[in-house]
């Protein structure tokens, strides 16, 4: 900052330029305040509190009507379509996998919805319980007959202390029902899949509201990528009766292993994108639309890890939503052709939506043999 006021420093041009300038100045001021008030503790998980989630992605892309195959054997692990692959659209800087719960006679549905108020942030008695400390928004898993894993990839930037690996803490605020687990995994840099599980624990609680999960004393390598994972099984019909809402999650350096320390800097970079690739008529959907995937790449060698498509409907108000119709995907090199041969013709148009990220959107949590990375609970062991 100089001696001039912010009004005098505002750049000329579009309102967007002015907004971006003010956002940068605000971030700079917050960093100065953190430095003056004590040690800066950075959360290595971007958008850990879900407040950076764009309104378009929160309201449009995370509907619980997103279709998922009933059987794991029906999945195509290299598919780009959300309805054909394990990947499910997730909030900014997060990833998600979801498959149908086997053994039911009705189709599985699943979606992640970001909510800023109501029962997804607190329980139904939130007027008397009050909003949980630190919870500003919540990412809630919704649907029926599903198994799902919501995860946040991150790299631990560190301050070195001698030649030892620094010490970290991971934590999350969740409101959980039954069949919920949480843990930390290391990712393979080439494939983006899980390389090893560092720990896995039950996350079930009788508390009616959000409670904090925490694991101190972790030794992590700054040159490796990790992911904090929260998994949930919803075997029955209904929307979230035994589901889970995540209020925030963090991973940070904690050399003293203070049991109360939490980050005071929460990065919110826009490092992924939700995009409407193309609007389509009913006839075009039946015939099929071809998309060149070659421009899209990420940090792993598998392009489908970084580009996930959803075929959605466009109603008379121009709103985009998923209606559960199963799509077909045909691959020919870099070209992916998406169609719905039996699409219903009710006058509505369609849209191909995409989630594009530099980090992997699915990490091999669900394995081809039907098992998952969290089938067995695992205690953390300090590496030698």
Q: Can you give the pLDDT at residue 1?
A: 36
- 39, two tokens: 């040690």
246 lies in the same domain as 182: yes
d(CA 187, CA 197): 9
219 lies in the same domain as 72: yes
72 lies in the same domain as 20: no
Ordered DSSP codes for 12-44: SS-HHHHHHHHHHHHHHHHHHHHHHHS---B-S
Does residue 47 sit within a domain?
no
Distances (CA, A) of 89 to 35, 51, 64, 78, 258: 36, 17, 11, 16, 35
Does residue 43 sit within a domain?
no
Q: Can you give the pLDDT at residue 149?
A: 93
Does residue 103 sit within a domain?
yes
Nearest 5°: the CA angle 40, 45, 49 is: 90
Q: Can you give the pLDDT at residue 274?
A: 77
Ordered DSSP codes for 228-272: EEEEEEE-SSSSSTT-EEEEEEEEEE-TT--TT---SB------S
67 lies in the same domain as 135: yes
- Quote the domain boundaries for residue 292: 273-356
139 lies in the same domain as 234: yes
301 lies in the same domain as 211: no
| Centroid of chain to Cα 44 | 15
Q: Can you give the pLDDT at residue 314?
A: 76
d(CA 84, CA 75): 5
Does residue 22 sit within a domain?
yes
29 lies in the same domain as 151: no
201 lies in the same domain as 295: no
If one counts the domains in the chain, the total is 3
233 lies in the same domain as 278: no
Does residue 236 sit within a domain?
yes
Asked if residues 379 and 199 have their Cβ atoms less than 8 Å apart, the reply is yes
d(CA 162, CA 276): 49
Q: If you compute the radius of gyration of the chain from its CA atoms, what whole number of angstroms results?
A: 21
Does residue 367 sit within a domain?
no
Does residue 365 sit within a domain?
no
CATH code for position 108 = 2.60.120.260
Pairing of strands 273-280, 349-356: antiparallel
Which of 208, 196, 267 lies closest to 23 in space, CA to CA?
267
63 lies in the same domain as 196: yes
64 lies in the same domain as 154: yes
- 141, two tokens: 């898993």
Beta strand extents in 116-238 (DSSP E only): 138-144, 146-154, 167-176, 180-187, 194-202, 211-219, 225-234
Asked if residues 29 and 45 have their Cβ atoms less than 8 Å apart, the reply is no
Burial class (CB in 10 A: 0-12, 13-18, 19+), 300: buried
d(CA 80, CA 313): 18
Distances (CA, A) of 122 to 54, 118, 199, 293: 21, 6, 27, 40
Q: Can you give the pLDDT at residue 268?
A: 80
320 lies in the same domain as 223: no
Asked if residues 122 and 145 have their Cβ atoms less than 8 Å apart, the reply is no
Ordered DSSP codes for 168-182: EEEEEEEEE-SSEEE
What is the mean pLDDT of each successive set of 10 residues along the chain, which is 384 residues long?
55 63 59 55 90 55 46 74 83 88 71 68 44 72 84 81 74 84 94 95 78 93 93 70 80 91 84 78 86 78 83 71 71 84 72 85 88 94 80
| Centroid of chain to Cα 338 | 24
Sheet holding 146-154, edge to edge: 95-100, 146-154, 225-234, 180-187, 194-202
Asked if residues 348 and 317 have their Cβ atoms less than 8 Å apart, the reply is no
Does residue 143 sit within a domain?
yes
| Gap between the terminal Cα atoms of the chain | 47
């Amino acid at each position: 900052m100089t001696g001039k006021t912010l009004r005098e420093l505002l750049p000329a041009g579009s309102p967007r330029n002015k907004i971006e300038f003010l956002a940068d100045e605000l971030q700079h001021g917050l960093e100065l305040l953190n430095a003056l008030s004590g040690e800066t503790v950075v959360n290595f998980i971007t958008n850990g509190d879900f407040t950076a989630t764009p309104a378009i992605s929160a309201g449009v892309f995370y509907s619980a009507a997103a279709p998922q195959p009933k059987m794991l054997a029906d999945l195509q692990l290299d598919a780009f379509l959300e309805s054909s692959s394990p990947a499910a659209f997730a909030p900014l800087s997060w990833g998600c996998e979801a498959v149908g719960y086997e053994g039911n006679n009705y189709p599985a549905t699943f979606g992640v919805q970001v909510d800023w108020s109501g029962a997804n942030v607190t329980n139904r008695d939130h007027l008397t319980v009050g909003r949980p400390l630190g919870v500003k928004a919540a990412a809630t898993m919704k649907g029926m007959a599903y198994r799902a894993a919501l995860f946040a990839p991150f790299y631990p930037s560190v301050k070195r202390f001698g030649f030892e690996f620094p010490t970290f803490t991971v934590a999350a605020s969740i409101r959980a029902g039954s069949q919920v687990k949480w843990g930390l995994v290391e990712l393979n840099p080439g494939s983006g899949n899980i390389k090893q599980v560092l720990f896995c624990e039950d996350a079930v609680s009788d508390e009616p509201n959000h409670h904090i999960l925490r694991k101190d004393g972790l030794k992590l390598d700054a040159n490796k990528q990790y992911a904090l994972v929260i998994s949930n099984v919803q075997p029955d019909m209904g929307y979230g009766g035994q589901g889970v809402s995540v209020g925030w999650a963090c991973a940070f350096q904690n050399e003293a292993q203070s049991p109360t320390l939490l980050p005071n800097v929460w990065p919110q970079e826009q490092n992924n994108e939700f995009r409407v690739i193309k609007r389509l008529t009913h006839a075009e959907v039946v015939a099929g639309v071809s998309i060149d995937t070659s421009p899209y790449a990420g940090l792993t060698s598998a392009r489908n890890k970084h580009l996930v498509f959803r075929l959605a409907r466009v109603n008379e108000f121009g709103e985009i939503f998923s209606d559960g119709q199963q799509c077909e995907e045909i691959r020919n090199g870099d070209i992916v052709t998406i169609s719905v041969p039996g699409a219903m013709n009710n006058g509505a148009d369609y849209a191909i939506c995409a989630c594009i990220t530099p980090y992997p959107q699915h990490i091999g949590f669900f394995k081809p043999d039907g098992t998952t990375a969290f089938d067995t609970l695992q205690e953390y062991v300090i590496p030698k």
